[in-house]
């Protein structure tokens, strides 16, 4: 036993639980914890410009690598309320992050003290656990519980609030006697696996829907092996993209209203059986339940019991970690195939591959200003198979999911359910902090980029280089497109005559992103014409490598481009001509608008 401040014990626990990096903003009520961090010098700290951004950096850090848990730190009051969006985003996508806030002294709680707010009550709906620790010795014990909760069952975030006098109080603590708790993960039984495979064997046109739970469980290799043993095509969700390579013969495309492929929707409509693993039947994937489920049987495997039946009741539900389920399913399927008990779905898989070849959207446009489809075509040429893409929401994300390619798990880092604007930039910085070597390309529309553009300075200060592709049409593009249903274009334009850009052709686009990026200590390249693509990508990578700072690569788009989407998976509006049309190829229902 040693006598120490509660915050010194907290830092020792953070070390033992594997925390190596923190993102945050110091302040009076959390300075005791910062003093403990400084004294130990064991945890890297990245100073954000906004506490919400720090929470998204922590998300990016967690999402980048297996086993990571990002740490976000802030003072009392507004720092905690700023973290709420990050907590919501992490909870929605099953991402563990730890948020630690300072708090007013215990004696001043409920007395309207300066920057004192009941942050635990505010955070409770968007956290697995949110607590104000009222006893000094409970600080290390609360952290132990926090890590156990974050890692057990469905992963998620925790907030721990520390009154300043609790932080400073001395306690007896022995870090050598401390051990992280073993997380709880439910596992599929053999009987459940046999039941599931018996149902699968009765299907003529089955598909596997691979969700983000597979990536959380590091089970992508098991998914691929299970798909290959059974021969069943795979439709990844947006959160599961990368669990099977885009060019794998059994990757059948994504399904959905927006972030989907024409061939993925067509295959889902043809299927008669859906085996969902580690997914949550998100509405952007399903559209209406009636259309999505018509003529199909369903199995749903999820780590969280209350997810099964939340959207619709499956024909079989199994509570299991995705990795444990896939291992058991693979063992049984391999035995059945060896014994000749497994059906042959090669004909069905061949139909899916034919759709994948035939049902393409056009990307090659030569117009100036640029069409966004051409940007993604050129990104596919410029960036290799190991590229990690980071993005959140908007037409940029939707078109990115339709046209980019992802080949590995954790190479598509996306805020799937919450979709807060501004998420992309800080999340990309968090990914870079987690991995100094990978190629990172962030993707934003101009509005997402402007939301937290100040974090470019954090990237420059802390030498966190990556390439940020900004597709600029000076519009809230997704909202403008949605407003078509109301026959309006109202308060969604970002364009204005920038008096400081009189000599530039896009002066009317408003904000000069290149100038802002350079003012923040970063580098930037602007692209206006198709013939400049190749040189711009090369220049961006050269600048990033030379200066070790974020590089903004801005593409000047035409003001209005409608991106393919619809209200149902069988009613997707295609606003641009398609790449090709084969009369004999199966097609989704397409309306040219």
Residue 578 designated active-site = no
User: In sequence order, what are the residues at sequence separation of 6 or more whose Cβ sits closer than 8 angstroms to the Cβ of residue 367?
Assistant: 374, 558
Q: Is the pLDDT of residue 582 over 60?
A: no
DSSP states of 292-330: HHTT-EEEEEESSGGGTTTSS--SEEEE--HHHHHHHHH
- Catalytic residue, candidates 168, 479, 492, 494: 479
In a domain, 313, yes or no: yes
Q: Is the pLDDT of residue 564 over 90?
A: no
Residue 428 to residue 450: CA distance in whole angstroms: 15
Residue 456 designated active-site = no
Give the pLDDT confidence of 218-232 residue by residue, as tens digits: 999 999 999 999 999
Residue 442 neighbours by CB distance under 10 Å: 30
Q: Is the pLDDT of residue 577 over 80?
A: no
**Which among 148, 177, 206 is the end of a domain?**
177
Residue range 305-332: mean pLDDT, rounded: 96
Mean confidence (pLDDT) of the chain: 92
Does 210 share its domain with 270?
Answer: yes
pLDDT: is 467 or 503 the higher one?
Answer: 467
Query: What is the pTM for the complete model shown?
Result: 0.92
Does 345 share its domain with 252?
Answer: yes
Does 154 share its domain with 288?
Answer: no
3-state secondary structure of 115: coil
**Could you give the strand order of the β-sheet that contains 158-163, starting from the edge strand earlier in sequence?**
44-47, 21-24, 70-74, 97-103, 158-163, 129-132
- Catalytic residue, candidates 12, 33, 51, 431: 51
DSSP states of 215-261: HHTT-HHHHHHHHHHHT--EEE-TTTTTSS-TTSTTB----SSSS--
Residue range 88-101: mean pLDDT, rounded: 96
CATH of the domain at 262: 3.40.50.1220
- Catalytic residue, candidates 11, 13, 14, 25: 25
In a domain, 345, yes or no: yes
Residue 487 to residue 67: CA distance in whole angstroms: 48
In a domain, 583, yes or no: no
Which pLDDT score is estimated for 83? Answer: 95
Does 402 share its domain with 533?
Answer: yes
Which pLDDT score is estimated for 506? Answer: 82
In a domain, 293, yes or no: yes
Which pLDDT score is estimated for 583? Answer: 36
- Phi, psi at 160, each rounded to 5°: -120, 125
> Tokens 């398609």 appear where?
578
Residue 479 designated active-site = yes
User: Quick one: pLDDT band at residue 580, thresholds 50, 70, 90?
Assistant: low
Lowest-confidence segment of 5-19, 418-432, 566-580 by average pLDDT: 566-580
Burial of 316 (0-12, 13-18, 19+ CB in 10 A): middle
In a domain, 260, yes or no: yes
Nearest alpha-carbon partner for 481 in 258, 292, 239: 258
Give the pLDDT confidence of 504-550 residue by residue, as tens digits: 888 888 889 999 999 999 999 999 999 999 999 999 999 999 999 99
Residue range 28-48: mean pLDDT, rounded: 96
Q: Is the pLDDT of residue 108 over 90?
A: no
In a domain, 237, yes or no: yes
Does 345 share its domain with 383?
Answer: no
Residue 543 designated active-site = no
Helix runs in 395-490, H state only: 395-403, 424-434, 446-451, 455-461, 477-482
**Which among 358, 391, 411 is the end of a domain?**
358
- Catalytic residue, candidates 476, 549, 552, 556: 476
Does 53 share its domain with 109?
Answer: yes
Query: What proportion of the chain, given as a percentage, has pLDDT over 70?
Result: 97
Domain that holds residue 286: 190-358
Q: Is the pLDDT of residue 588 over 50?
A: no
Residue 91 neighbours by CB distance under 10 Å: 23
Structure tokens at 23: 């993102």
Which pLDDT score is estimated for 52? Answer: 96
User: Quick one: pLDDT band at residue 416, thresholds 50, 70, 90?
Assistant: confident
Q: Is the pLDDT of residue 592 over 60?
A: no
Residue 51 designated active-site = yes
Does 218 share its domain with 80?
Answer: no
Which pLDDT score is estimated for 587? Answer: 33
Does 516 share its domain with 458?
Answer: yes
Which pLDDT score is estimated for 579? Answer: 61
In a domain, 136, yes or no: yes
In a domain, 584, yes or no: no
Give the pLDDT confidence of 118-140 residue by residue, as tens digits: 999 999 999 999 999 999 999 99
Region for 284 from its dihedrals, namely left if φ exceeds 0, alpha if ψ lies in -120 to 50, beta otherwise: alpha
pLDDT: is 480 or 542 the higher one?
Answer: 542
- Catalytic residue, candidates 13, 319, 404, 421: 421
Residue 279 to residue 261: CA distance in whole angstroms: 18
Does 216 share its domain with 265?
Answer: yes
Count the domains in the chain: 3
Give the pLDDT confidence of 228-281 residue by residue, as tens digits: 999 999 999 999 999 999 999 999 999 999 999 999 999 999 999 999 999 999
Q: Find the length of the chain.
A: 593
């Amino acid at each position: 036993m040693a006598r120490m401040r509660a915050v010194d014990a907290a830092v020792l626990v953070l070390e033992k639980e594997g925390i190596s990096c923190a993102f945050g903003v110091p302040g009076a009520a959390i300075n005791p914890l910062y003093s403990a961090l400084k004294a130990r010098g064991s945890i890297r700290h990245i100073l954000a410009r906004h506490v919400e951004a720090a929470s998204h950096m922590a998300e990016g850090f967690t999402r980048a690598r297996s086993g990571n848990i990002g740490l976000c730190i802030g003072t009392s009051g507004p720092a905690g309320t700023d973290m709420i969006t990050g907590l919501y985003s992490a909870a929605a996508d099953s991402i563990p992050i730890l948020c630690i806030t300072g708090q007013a002294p215990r004696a001043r709680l409920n007395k309207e003290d300066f920057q004192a707010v009941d942050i635990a009550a505010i955070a409770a709906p968007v956290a697995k656990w949110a607590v104000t620790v009222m006893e000094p010795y409970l600080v290390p014990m609360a952290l132990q519980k926090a890590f156990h909760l974050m890692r057990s069952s469905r992963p998620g975030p925790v907030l721990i609030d520390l009154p300043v006098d609790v932080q400073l109080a001395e306690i007896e603590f022995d870090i050598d006697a401390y051990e992280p708790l073993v997380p709880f993960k439910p596992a599929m039984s053999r009987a459940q696996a046999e039941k599931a495979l018996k149902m699968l064997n009765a299907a003529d046109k089955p598909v596997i829907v691979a969700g983000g739970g597979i990536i959380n469980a590091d089970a992508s290799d098991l998914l691929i092996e299970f798909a290959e043993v059974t021969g069943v095509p795979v439709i990844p969700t947006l959160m599961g993209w990368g669990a099977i390579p885009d060019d794998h013969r059994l990757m059948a495309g994504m399904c959905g209203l927006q972030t989907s492929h024409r061939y993925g929707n067509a295959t889902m409509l043809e299927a008669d059986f859906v085996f969902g693993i580690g997914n949550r039947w998100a509405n952007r994937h399903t559209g209406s339940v009636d259309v999505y489920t018509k003529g199909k049987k369903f199995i749903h495997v999820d780590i969280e019991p209350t997810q099964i039946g939340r959207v619709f009741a499956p024909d079989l539900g199994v509570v299991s970690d995705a990795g444990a389920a896939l291992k058991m399913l693979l063992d049984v399927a391999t035995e059945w195939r060896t014994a000749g008990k497994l059906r042959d779905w090669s004909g069905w898989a061949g139909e899916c591959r034919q759709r994948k070849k035939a049902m393409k959207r056009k990307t090659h446009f030569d117009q100036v200003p640029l069409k966004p489809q051409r940007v993604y075509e050129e990104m596919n040429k410029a960036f290799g198979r190991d590229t990690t893409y980071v993005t959140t929401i908007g037409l940029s994300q939707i078109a990115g999911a339709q046209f980019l390619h992802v080949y590995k798990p954790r190479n598509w880092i996306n805020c799937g359910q919450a979709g807060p604007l501004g998420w992309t930039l800080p999340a990309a910085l968090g990914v870079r902090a987690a991995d100094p070597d990978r190629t990172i390309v962030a993707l934003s529309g101009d509005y997402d980029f402007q939301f937290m553009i100040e974090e470019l300075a954090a990237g420059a200060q802390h030498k966190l280089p990556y390439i940020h592709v900004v597709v600029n049409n000076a519009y809230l593009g997704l909202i403008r497109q949605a407003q078509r249903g109301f026959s309006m274009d109202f308060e969604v334009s970002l364009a204005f005559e920038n008096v400081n850009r009189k000599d530039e052709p896009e002066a009317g686009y408003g904000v000069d992103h290149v100038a802002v990026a350079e003012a923040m200590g970063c580098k930037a390249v602007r692209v206006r014409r198709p013939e400049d693509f190749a040189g711009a990508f090369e220049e961006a990578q050269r600048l990033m490598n030379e200066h070790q700072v974020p590089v903004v690569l801005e593409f000047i788009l035409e003001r209005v481009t409608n991106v393919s989407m619809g209200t149902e998976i069988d009613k997707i509006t295609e606003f641009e001509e398609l790449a090709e049309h084969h009369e004999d190829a199966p097609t989704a229902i397409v309306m040219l608008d």
